[in-house]
Copies of this chain bind each other. A is one copy, B any other.
Amino acid sequence: MNNYIYKCTNCNRECNAEGIEGNFVYLCPSCGKAEKNKPLEGVFIIEYDYEELRKKIKREDFLKLPAGKFWLYPWLFPLDEKKLNFNVLKRLALSEDQYLEYDYNKSKIFLMDETRNPTFSYKDRASGLVALKALELGITEIAAASTGNAGSSLAGISARLGLTSHIFVPKNIPDAKRIQIQSFGANIYIVDGDYDNAFDLCLEISEKKKWYNRNTAYNPLTIEGKKSAAFDIFISTQGKMPDNIFIPVGDGVIISGIYKGLTELLELGWIEKLPKLIAVQAKGSDAIVRYVKSNSFIYESASTIADSISAGAPRNLYMAAKAVKQTNGIAVAVSDNEILNAQKDIANYFGILSEPSSASVFAAYKNLIKEEKIKAGDKNLLLITGNGLKDISALEIWNDKPLAKDYNEWTRLLLK
């Protein structure tokens, strides 16, 4: 068993893993609160014995590992190595070649392509770790509230591992995402209400049913699973880390996870400084941008075409804001129109179909270059977190059907 503790990010209370994991405890017992339309309070972070880890593994050996398989270094995760079934883990593997380099406007630009993950989004990093923990604890049923991708991810990963999943969704879920969840054989519960209602209902039901809960930020393993991208970047670049990492931000869990992973790399002495984290939000859903500026949270209902980062009350707001500040990063919002243009650019220049949420990072990149807040000559990494095929309604906006023409008309037009 690995040596790790749960530590509250608010009151610093430390808890042993046994007391937390076996008892379906997720937030800090002292100060934890999950209230409607507010960020979560008392979110746990997991801490390891880094001194021990430094002795256990050397940087040069770690760099020989393949990217995309976090279970190959289980001692950096809350996992019992002896209980891992390596036969089934292959089904959760990400591509080893997701770190891509392109030329763009006379500079290099780097993309982290998460659109080819097992269920085609970054969420698989969290779902994978949560599902492995469920297997370790002998729990066969997992629940989550979701606006789409997290639910589809948990449903697909559960199918791959033979687990049963329960997904609570708001009634305005896009049809395409609902269909993915159902296709994977998940039990779906459509709540006549919004994401907050689905979130609360999922907490209540899963507590009473003793289902393991994967609600984002609420289960600390969602943050912990999402940190794995930091290690994949470290491996893919062979330690030559980016200067800036652009991250789409809704609930703030991905940026928190990446920040956590990066601080661990620093703690282990494997990198010398933290890359700047650029938190990218949509203008219609910018609570974290506002919080970074003003240090205060005011709930505003969210509205943006980028549904995967639409969150009026980001669950992991405090940790996300800390990630930006501690890395001297930037929090920035882009318009829906800029997002659609960026979605087109990413498909045209890089051959990747991205979700609007993911496209936001390219929109922000272009703006910040223009405003000279970052340099094109920097090593800029853009995180493409979700696949555009998951819901093609945004692609439809900028791809009208051209008129059909007959054989003769085409030959006349094309050969004139």
Contacts and interface: CB of A to CB of B under 8 A. Distances in A.
Interface of A: 66, 87, 90-91, 93, 95-97, 100-101, 116-120, 156-161, 171, 175-176, 178-180, 182-185, 188-193, 197, 200-201, 204-205, 208-209, 344, 347-351, 353, 387-390, 392, 395-396, 399, 401-407, 410-411, 414-415
A286 to B, nearest CB: 27
A182 B410 contact: no
Total copies of this chain within the assembly: 2
A130 B117 CA distance: 26
Nearest to A186: B348
A201 B156 contact: no
Contacts of A184: 347-348, 351, 353
Contacts of A87: 101
Given A179-B395, A388-B183, A396-B179, A191 B351 contact: no
Given A93-B95, A184-B351, 4 more contacts: A119-B351, A159-B351, A209-B414, A389-B389
A206 to B, nearest CB: 10
Given A193-B406, A200-B407, A411-B204, A180 B389 contact: yes
B179 A351 contact: no
B392 A179 contact: yes
Nearest 9 CB-CB pairings of A with B: A159-B351, A160-B351, A185-B348, A389-B389, A93-B97, A171-B404, A192-B404, A190-B404, A182-B399
Given A188-B402, A389-B180, A415 B97 contact: no
A313 to B, nearest CB: 18
Nearest to A170: B404
B395 A183 contact: yes
From DSSP, what is the main secondary structure of chain A's interface residues? helix
28 contacts: A95-B95, A116-B116, A116-B117, A120-B389, A156-B351, A156-B353, A157-B351, A160-B350, A175-B396, A176-B392, A178-B399, A179-B392, A179-B399, A180-B353, A180-B389, A180-B395, A184-B351, A189-B414, A191-B404, A191-B406, A192-B404, A192-B407, A193-B406, A201-B411, A205-B410, A205-B411, A205-B415, A208-B415
A159 B350 contact: yes
Contacts of A156: 351, 353
Contacts of A116: 95, 116-118
Nearest to A157: B351
A191 B389 contact: no
Nearest to A403: B190
B100 A190 contact: no
A26 to B, nearest CB: 19
B191 A405 contact: yes
Contacts of A200: 407
Contact of A159 (B160, B348, B403): B348
B390 A158 contact: no
A189 B180 CA distance: 31
A390 B390 CA distance: 9
A95 B405 CA distance: 39
Contacts of A402: 188, 190
A410 B160 contact: no
A97 B90 contact: yes
Contacts of A119: 351
A90 B201 CA distance: 44
Nearest to A402: B190
B90 A100 contact: yes
A204 B204 CA distance: 65
A375 B415 CA distance: 56
Nearest to A99: B90
Contact of A91 (B351, B389, B392, B396): B351
A201 B414 CA distance: 11
